[in-house]
Amino acid sequence: MKRTYIYTTIFCTALALLSACAKNDNYEEPAETLTGRVIDNSTGQPIQTESAGIRLRLEEQSWNNGQGVIPQYFNVKPDGTFNNSRLFKGKYKVYPMDGAFVPLVTTTTPIIDNSKTVDISGVTSLEFNVDPFLKVEWVGEPVVNPDKTVTVQCKFTRGTTNTAYQFNVTDVFLYVSTTDFVSNASYDNRFSNQVKYNGTDGNALLGQTISITTKGTLGGSRTYYVRVGARTADNVNKRYNYNTPKPVNIPGA
Amino acid sequence: MKKFIYPLLILLCIVTACNKLGILPDNIVQDKDAFASTGGVTAYFAGLYNRLPIEDFKYNINTGYNQFNYIQNLNNLTGESMSREAGSASAAQTGYWGDAYVVIRNANYFLETMPAYAFNFNQSQVNQWMGEARFIRSFTYFELVKRYGGVPIVPGVQFYPQQGLEELQIPRSSEQQVYDYIGKDLDTAIMLMNNTSEQRGRANKFIAAALKSRAMLFAGSIAKYNTKNISDPATGAQVQGIPATEAVRYFKESYAAAKLVETGGYTLYRASANKEENYYNLFFDVSSANKEAIFMKEYSDLNAVHSFDLFAIPNQMKGKDGYSSYMNPTLDYVELFDGLPRNADGSLKTIDAATGQYAYYDNPYSFFQAAEPRLLATVLMPGATFKGQVIEIRRGIYKGDIAGGINPFPGSVSPFPNTTNPYANNPNIVPAVNSSNLPSPMVDLPNGQKMNAGGLSGTYGTTGGSVTISGFFQRKYLDQRKPVADVIVNKSFQPWIEMRYAEVLLNRAEADYELMTAGQNDVDYRQDAFTCINDIRDRAGATLLAGAADLTSINVIRNERRKELGFENKIWWDIKRWRTADAEIQNRVWLVLNPIYVAANGKYIFDKRRYEGNQQFTFQPMWYYEQIPNGEITKNPKLVQNQ
């Protein structure tokens, strides 16, 4: 008799435990894609940046009229394109921020709002146009010197006519790395060379061809990537504007 | 008849018993008890002070207040110190929010309830307490505003569910409004409070003024140096940033508050004529003779403990619980001070500029013999004597011939390029082994003795080894009277000085300088700043400024602040409010000093280089404002997130 009770209790408990867990999360998984580019107005090409150099901000508008929504971010790739294939369907306000360009959205005077509001569903494409603080260009090809240093020539000019965003040029950085992610986020500090400018000294070099040489001797017989970043005293994000990375082959010993 | 009596009695009991169900449970202290006596109020304040957000020996950069783990401390993020456990920069976001509003609510509750019970006490007592509650509220709001910018200002005690959600959810005020609220609240507190504290560790008029000088200086700095201006689109309140036009007003308030503290009889600690000993003792003297300690958090063996000694103690003196050697000042920090051996061009004389080769020192400590006393009290040097032992720090032994001098190893000449394994391929040197498991080799010396390539307390190892990685240890706050048996978990109880008069003088000097550069001349601000700085330098035993004209830049005052307030969890907030952190800490590898024994002549050379672990620190500009915890935005959709 007693045993029956015990078995019944065990059976009932087991039944309760097993059946209780049967509820799956049946909310549809995020499957929409947002893809696109951030175009540099000075070149017409996607803007060059570093990994995590520009964030794309999304504020969902389809819930609670956008109030109290925690913004979501994802990073624009170093080549200025972005792609996120795991977003929930909905209406979003979207804009790139934190990069070395004139902000698209400001909330204090003068208030600017160049964000885009889109319904994200399926594959949604977006393109933003930004004015970089500086336009950095190669002049000629990098030269490998006999002592295995590399000398590059480049030029930087203002990327915006808006004088409120024409800050002093603070430094130019020749980055060297063994990968084409070469940038302020990834470089070899034994070879890379930073040239700093005081006050308005850097502004005098706008439009001039300047020449920078790597610091140390680059190890033999392999490919390095070089790239120049230039920066202004924007004081908000302190990001660099870049030219495109270039491979440099160092000959063997 | 009898039959009826018993049921009747029972009925009586039941009927009368039910009348008493309305009383409040007497295991919860009620207002009428808490506010009836001084003892009750003291207990109320004990609760408030206990929750007061003080970044002490228990402040962890990831988990916040009241943590055991002080290894991850703010000083590792600023270049003051480094640690084998702190390999990269951090935003140091602790998500301090909900706990702050608990303190604010409790302070508000006191302020609203006390007046009804004021008849129990004399007016001066009540005023003191009303001021104290305001001080606690301001202190807490300041901890919020320095992290997040504008935060919601709660108008009073809120009640749920009596009030609706809509009413309870408050949007963020502007950053300026919060600082103004703190300023006004502290003004009232200063007016209400007495000149002396009711008990040790509690607030008084001058402590409120000291807090005001700090808070207003922060506000002025934000107004002057911040450029990231973000407003709440719904309310228009500027939640990040303060208009630049407000800077002068804030700096003047900071200056005035600092002057008020001066009238309270606070002075720099000068109890002992030996300046090194004096500066060291300042942090241990809890007697009333210490007129510098303005606001102190004390600990005791039984009630409140921390573990600072355990973490900071040099390896050779560690106790049975292990740990040790987590606070290693960088050479970047040590080099800020006066009295180190230097070449004519100002470079540190590790390498003699005349010969281009290493300079010899008779023993490790002779390098620091003439150093500023404050530095020696703040940092434990190689060869220093502490707790009766000589701190032994050695990176290796040079065995080669020295007839032609010793040429610099790779990476030890300005600008000190990053070099990993600088000694590995040099046949003349036996370096300490880079492991916590393997012993370093014993080296035969010319005099027939043997010597370990590594010192008892370092420096070897990039990870794992419980030794210094910079060549230095923190001495400030490290208790030299503590026996080794007590260097264990939760056995430290030296006090934490949250506010001291030196900081007030530095606040004043900085406000002075900012006002001077802003063209204000109602006071001779340059002269005032000069007086403050020289007072501090004199006590420190540093080189005095020859005249007010030597104040050539704000950096003179800022560097003095770093030197004076190092390892006090303050500099992190300073480099943030100056908005210089991102420029200073950018792919930066901290400098270290490696003492190396030279076998041929029994002397030491010092190798200055960037840390061999090549850990780079970069402060991201987006860290100037911390992210509001997302859970709080979910609870209160009126909060806008920081960018």
> pLDDT tens for residues B77-120?
999 999 988 888 999 999 999 999 999 999 999 999 999 999 99
Q: Is B589 in Cβ contact with A64 (below 8 Å)?
A: no
Amino acid identity of residue A136, one-letter, is: V
Mutate to test the interface with B, among A235, A237, A239, A240 (most CBs of B within 10 A): A235
| Residues linked to residue A226 through DSSP beta bridges, in sequence order | A176, A246
Model confidence at A16: pLDDT above 90: no
pLDDT for the residue B463: 44
Name the residue among B229, B579, B621 with its Cβ closest to that of A108: B229
Q: How far apart are CA A234 and CA B414, in angstroms?
A: 29
pLDDT for the residue A189: 82
Averaged pLDDT for residues B11-31: 67
Amino acid identity of residue A18, one-letter, is: L
Residue A118 has a CB neighbour count (10 Å cut-off) of: 18
Model confidence at B9: pLDDT above 70: no
The answer to whether B594 and B328 have CB atoms below 8 angstroms apart is no
Element (H, E) at B210: helix B205-225
Model confidence at B271: pLDDT above 70: yes
Contacts of A199 in chain B (CB under 8 A): none
**How does pLDDT run across B235-268, given as a tens digit for each residue?**
999 999 999 999 999 999 999 999 999 999 999 9
What mean pLDDT, rounded, does chain B reach? Answer: 92
Q: How far apart are CA B341 and CA A1, in angstroms?
A: 93
DSSP secondary structure of B97-155:
-HHHHHHHHHHHHHHHHGGGGGGGS-HHHHHHHHHHHHHHHHHHHHHHHHHHSS-PPP-
User: Among all chains, which residue has been given the structure tokens 């919020």?
Assistant: B144
User: For the stretch A140-169, what's the b/e string if a residue is b when 16 or more beta carbons lie within 10 angstroms of its beta carbon?
Assistant: eebebeeeebbebbbbbebbbeeeebbbeb
pLDDT for the residue B460: 64
CA closest to A234 among chain B residues:
B227
Q: How far apart are CA B92 and CA B46, in angstroms?
A: 28
Name the residue among B616, B621, B637 with its Cβ closest to that of A68: B637
| Residues linked to residue B228 through DSSP beta bridges, in sequence order | none
Size of interface A-B (CB pairs under 8 A): 57
Mutate to test the interface with A, among B174, B586, B587, B628 (most CBs of A within 10 A): B587
The answer to whether B597 and B360 have CB atoms below 8 angstroms apart is no
Closest by CA position to B312, among listed B468, B463, B456: B468
Model confidence at B456: pLDDT above 50: yes
Averaged pLDDT for residues B472-477: 96
Q: Is B641 in Cβ contact with A238 (below 8 Å)?
A: no
Averaged pLDDT for residues B495-507: 97
Specify the higher pLDDT residue, A164 or B179.
B179
**How does pLDDT run across B331-340, given as a tens digit for each residue?**
999 999 999 9
Amino acid identity of residue B610, one-letter, is: R
Q: How far apart are CA B375 and CA B335, in angstroms?
A: 10
Residue A86: Cβ-neighbour burial (10 angstroms; 0-12, 13-18, 19+) = exposed
Averaged pLDDT for residues B116-131: 95
| Residues linked to residue B357 through DSSP beta bridges, in sequence order | B352
Model confidence at B464: pLDDT above 60: no
Q: How far apart are CA B611 and CA B79, in angstroms?
A: 12
Amino acid identity of residue A184, one-letter, is: N
Contacts of B587 in chain A (CB under 8 A): 184, 187, 189
Residue A29 has a CB neighbour count (10 Å cut-off) of: 7
The answer to whether A119 and A31 have CB atoms below 8 angstroms apart is no
The answer to whether B94 and B60 have CB atoms below 8 angstroms apart is yes
3-state secondary structure chain A: CHHHHHHHHHHHHHHHHHHHCCCCCCCCCCCEEEEEEEEECCCCCECCCCCCCCEEEEEECCCHHHCCCCCEEEECCCCCEEEEEEECCEEEEEEEECCCECCCEECCCCCEECCEEEEECCEEEEEEEECECEEEEECCCCEECCCCCEEEEEEEEECCCCHHHCCCEEEEEEEEECCCCCECCECCCCCCEEEECCCCHHHHHCCCEEEEECCCCCCCCEEEEEEEEEEECCCCCCCCEECCCEEEEECCC
Spatial CB neighbours of B279, under 8 Å, sequence gap ≥ 6: B269, B373, B374, B377, B378, B539, B540, B541
Model confidence at B303: pLDDT above 90: no
Spatial CB neighbours of B282, under 8 Å, sequence gap ≥ 6: B269, B290, B292, B293, B497, B500
pLDDT for the residue A18: 65
Tokens of B597: 């024994």
Contacts of A70 in chain B (CB under 8 A): 630, 633-634, 641
Biggest CA-to-CA distance, chain B? 124
Q: How far apart are CA B464 and CA B105, in angstroms?
A: 45
pLDDT for the residue B579: 94
Residue B281: Cβ-neighbour burial (10 angstroms; 0-12, 13-18, 19+) = middle
Tokens of A48: 């060059």
pLDDT for the residue A220: 74
Q: How far apart are CA B139 and CA B498, in angstroms?
A: 11
Looking at the complex, report in whole angstroms how far the Cα of residue B235 sits from the nearest Cα belonging to chain A.
11
Specify the higher pLDDT residue, A160 or B424.
A160
Tokens of A54: 């520009």
pTM of this structure: 0.90
Cα A147 to the center of its chain, rounded Å: 35
Q: Is A67 in Cβ contact with B234 (below 8 Å)?
A: yes
Spatial CB neighbours of B81, under 8 Å, sequence gap ≥ 6: B75, B327, B328, B329, B330, B333, B470, B474, B567
The answer to whether B413 and B434 have CB atoms below 8 angstroms apart is no
Averaged pLDDT for residues A74-82: 94
Amino acid identity of residue B36, one-letter, is: A
Q: How confident is the model at residue B462 (pLDDT cuts 50, 70, 90)?
A: very low
Contacts of B229 in chain A (CB under 8 A): 106-108
Looking at the complex, report in whole angstroms how far the Cα of residue A154 sits from the nearest Cα belonging to chain B.
23
Contacts of B621 in chain A (CB under 8 A): 235-238
- Angle, to 10 degrees, between the axis of helix B501-517 and the axis of helix B525-540? 150
The answer to whether B230 and B241 have CB atoms below 8 angstroms apart is yes
Model confidence at B461: pLDDT above 60: no
Q: How far apart are CA B51 and CA B61, in angstroms?
A: 18
What 3-state class would DSSP assign to B295? Answer: strand
Name the residue among A107, A187, A236 with its Cβ closest to that of B621: A236
Q: Is B232 in Cβ contact with A69 (below 8 Å)?
A: no
